[in-house]
Structure 1
Amino acid sequence: MRRNAAVVGLRSGEQPNGALGANFNGDPSMMTWAQLREAEATWVRGFAAMPEFDEQEPAAHRAIKTLLEAGRRDLRTVLSLKFPYFPRDGHDRIPRPGTPEMDADLRRVDAVLSVVMDQVDILVIGNEPFIECPEDDWTNGAINDFYETIARHVIDYRTRNFPNGGKTVLHMGALNHLDEPGKWVNSGTDRWMRFVRETPEIAGTDIHPHVAAPDGARAYLDYVLPRLGDKRFLVTEFSLVHLWKDHLEDPVSTAYADEYEIPRDTPVWQVIRNALRDPFPKERWYAFLRTSPWFENNKHYLTDQMAEFRATGRLAVATYGIGQDEAMSGADFNAESTPWLLNSVYASATIRPGPDGSAVPNYAWLPEFKALQHS
């Protein structure tokens, strides 16, 4: 596999500079090693939800197992530790330090660290903390107390077991919706950034700019860069998914409707649902997207966004969605759904497999992803 000059030859613990990798979130079944070779990917990222380790050994966990295998295949790796305290799941607060709930999370962390420390290249403490936490705990100090406790625990573990530092670099992650400052930028995010900046063992923060306009990530950079000091940032998820969602109720183009003999008032979401229920031939899916101005006019988003991230001189690694996972591919897709599947480099759920049974790439993203490995 050809290697990106931005990531080859890193010394133990050294940070990359502007790399682009593949993200599978929590479901590595969305990708194959053959796809990563075709895309010339050099980095892979996934997350692991901590409660899963009450029932499963970390070494057998599908995300961790995949990342360890990726390392053996000479790929660089990022693991995000996810602490899901969603109110929708009945959580009314995030654990407080010193409580049995906090102690349980620390035991889970220890179990994971025993498997991944000095194995993965980057460990991100948190996934999307402000989304995965009751809103009441954003500004009362509780979210910061929790994640700072986890971070110090991880730092202490690394210091005890790898006094020379080892290869695993630590980041805090990830901040969301920084383009909505009235709600999502608050005393909790300010303290988050201060902890990142003032803790020597933390290399930087992660951000997840899922935005509704091509320039939407600028608000994220405007917030984190002045608060990072001399540190770097990760972007382990990013996309124009909210722009795609804004167009789900648009009618398809006249050209597409006439070519495929469907009513001209057929909404975009209906076409996506039809493809999920009975995947399209490649040519039809491509025609649907190419005749949709909201998509076709943004087909260079990946290149343009990476250029903006890299121009800061502070990007460590960004990772982009590699495939369409089970959560994206339900046949009940509707006008209220979030169209994550339109971001994916490979379209396994909406395009029929190729002659060899492999997933077919989205026409827009794969060429740009590959080119960005060498730019």
Structure 2
Amino acid sequence: MPATDDGDPADHFAIDTITDASERGYDTILSLKFPYNNASFPEPGSAEMDAELDRLDQVLPTVMGKVDIITIGNEPFIESLPAERDHRLNEFYETVARHVIDHRAEQCGQNCATTLYMGALNRLDLENRRTPATERWMRFVRETPEIEGVDIHPHVPDGDNVQAFLDYILPRMRADQTFLVTEFSLVWYWKQHLQDTISPEFAQKYGFHTDTQVWEVIGAAIEEPFSERQWHDFLTSSAWFMEQATFLHDQMAMYRETGRLAVATYGFKQDNLMVRNWSPNKDPWLLNSVFAPYTVASRGSGMAAPGFWLESFRSLQNG
């Protein structure tokens, strides 16, 4: 949302990309991101809140009725000051949600092609994330007829932890509501293994010292991208990684078995932020990606090389 201060939202690369995809027949989801992790939430009725709603009024006409789903919020319980993850967070997002609902009713009509979700909740596997503010969030979702459901982002240290997300949200929604999973991964599991020693077989085959750590090999791939074979060998020679080889299928089965999943999406490609200032303490989002342009040499003609997950990702499209 802050990008609206820099010019016409229709010209912003994210909105231009998503509206172009929509026009070409793709189903699309747009999350409205309100980063308040370095500033207090504006109070409803204040000049600051009016300015935020003015930003919405710049964005919504460009996307309403064009994208299939608008998610109101991105990660509110992360993109906020820790001390304000209480009623102040709820009041801000409820005000925003009602403004979006009113705009849709006035400008897009009863049969508007865009549905609305509230998003997204993180780390519901941790008891300290299930707070009174989280309860109020879910109550607003349940009691607001225009809201279709809630978005979740299960980034977890263990795939089994995701059940706690479903156990929390499903009983707190109306029977006709569904949920989104617009992000999910094992990033915190990967991070636990960055300082593991690599396999002797990989070290010998590719000339690394036997005491080389996982993060150092990834750093070498960032510095000079590996061949597809070498990157594949690195991952498949790592027992900790291969223990999770069925992660995508396991997760999608869990979501689909609820009968309440609307859409799940998965991280498609590595980006610059994932590799910048690489260290053993960096969150290894790059290990999630379907395509690996920053750790694997290009196939040529601008084609990024796939990472480990392409086969699973592709098969799930046909599931």
For the superposition of Structure 1 and Structure 2, which TM-score range results when normalised by the shorter chain? Answer: over 0.9
Number of paired residues? 318
Choose 230-239 or 351-360, whichever is displaced more: 351-360
TM-score (norm 2): 0.98
- Residues 300-331 of structure 1, C-alpha deviation per residue, up to 9 Å, x if partnerless? 1111100000000000001100001111122x
Fraction of identical pairs, as percent: 51
How far apart, CA to CA, are the structure 2 residues paired with 1:237 and 1:308? 15
Among candidates 138, 141, 152, match of residue 193 of structure 1: 138
- 1:297-336 matches, cutoff 5 A: 297-330=243-276, 332-336=277-281
Superposed CA RMSD in Å reads 0.9
Specify every segment of 5 or more residues in structure 1 that has no aligned partner in the other structure, as ranges. 1-49
How far apart, CA to CA, are the structure 2 residues paired with 1:70 and 1:357? 20
**What secondary structure, in the 3-state scheme, does the structure 1 residue paired with 2:235 have?**
helix
Look up the equivalent residue of 2:143 and give its one-letter code.
E
Moved over 4 A (4+): none
Larger RCO (CA within 8 A; separation ≥ 6): 1
How far apart, CA to CA, are the structure 2 residues paired with 1:97 and 1:121? 28
How far apart, CA to CA, are the structure 2 residues paired with 1:346 and 1:239? 15
How far apart, CA to CA, are the structure 1 residues paired with 2:246 and 2:127? 27
Look up the equivalent residue of 1:297 and give its one-letter code.
E
**Residue in 2 that maps onto 1:267:** 213
How far apart, CA to CA, are the structure 1 residues paired with 2:132 and 2:235? 41
Among candidates 267, 270, 288, match of residue 343 of structure 1: 288
Among candidates 53, 74, 78, match of residue 106 of structure 1: 53
Offset at 1:207?
0.4
- Residues 177-232 of structure 1, C-alpha deviation per residue, up to 9 Å, x if partnerless? 111112x1100000000000010000000000000012121111111011012111
1:202 aligns with 2:147: yes
1:53 aligns with 2:18: no
How far apart, CA to CA, are the structure 2 residues paired with 1:78 and 1:99? 30
How far apart, CA to CA, are the structure 1 residues paired with 2:111 and 2:89? 27
Among candidates 15, 19, 23, match of residue 68 of structure 1: 19
Specify every segment of 5 or more residues in structure 2 that has no aligned partner in the other structure, as ranges. none
Is the 1:130–1:176 Cα contact (8 Å) retained in structure 2?
A: yes
**Residue in 2 that maps onto 1:374:** 318
TM-score (norm 1): 0.83
Bigger fraction of residues in helix = 2
Choose 167-176 or 277-286, whichever is displaced more: 277-286
Offset at 1:158?
0.8
Is the 1:179–1:216 Cα contact (8 Å) retained in structure 2?
A: yes
How far apart, CA to CA, are the structure 2 residues paired with 1:168 and 1:221? 24
**What secondary structure, in the 3-state scheme, does the structure 2 residue paired with 1:328 have?**
helix
